[in-house]
Structure 1
Amino acid sequence: MRLWHFWLNSLIFSSQYNPPNFIEWLMLILAVLLLGVWGITQQLPYIFLCLSYAIGASISILVREAIAPSPQTRVSRLTALLLLLVSLYGFADFL
């Protein structure tokens, strides 16, 4: 029980310390989970929601890096652009 309490306190602290980063990670985790569900069920709403989360997270990362650059700005921007391009290609492929 102590481990769960520590984990919950760490989660709350990270959400209060850097809310945009916390939301980006949450969106990316949900995207990965939905991608796994889509891999099992092969139903289109799961992949569309997964791609939407990925696009939202990558745009959020790009905006955050434009406003307040971090020490690893180049890597963050490159990764976010790559994720955005793959997600947009996924949407175009299904349409």
Structure 2
Amino acid sequence: MIRRWNFWWQTLVLSTQYNPPQFIELLMLMLGFFLLLIWMGNQQWPYLVLSMSYVAGSSTSILVREAMIPSPSLQLTQKLAILLLIMSLYTLLDLMR
């Protein structure tokens, strides 16, 4: 059991050292997803707003990073980031109405 936790811990440490911006983007997306699950449970709008803010920030960061340093899977990453950005902005604008 300890070896399994040690493996996951070493993987986490290695990923933060290898590509810190990508790790932060992944962390923001996971927090956004977690907050969206909480929002589905209790329907309080602050959870949805914070969730969509994390998703919009992460998507913007992905697009900026891909514009500066293109990756081999550029098309898929950009399309997914644009889709997430549109979805989060539409949700935030819908809440403002």
* TM-score normalized with structure 1 length: 0.98
Moved over 6 A (4+): none
Match of 1:57 in 2: 58
Q: CA deviation at 1:5?
A: 1.1
* Structure 2 portions without partners, runs of 5+: none
Q: How well do the aligned residues superpose, as a CA RMSD in angstroms?
A: 0.6
Match of 1:93 in 2: 94
Matched letter for residue 66 of structure 1: A
Instruction: Kindly provide the CA deviation profile for residues 2-21 of structure 1, in whole angstroms up to 9, marking residues without a partner as x.
Output: 11111011101100000011
Q: Is the counterpart of residue 23 in structure 1 residue 24 in structure 2?
A: yes
Match of 2:7 in 1: 6
Q: CA deviation at 1:27?
A: 0.5
Q: CA deviation at 1:44?
A: 0.9
Match of 2:44 in 1: 43
* TM-score normalized with structure 2 length: 0.96
Aligned residues: 95
Measure the CA separation in 2 of the matches of 1:70 and 1:43.
38
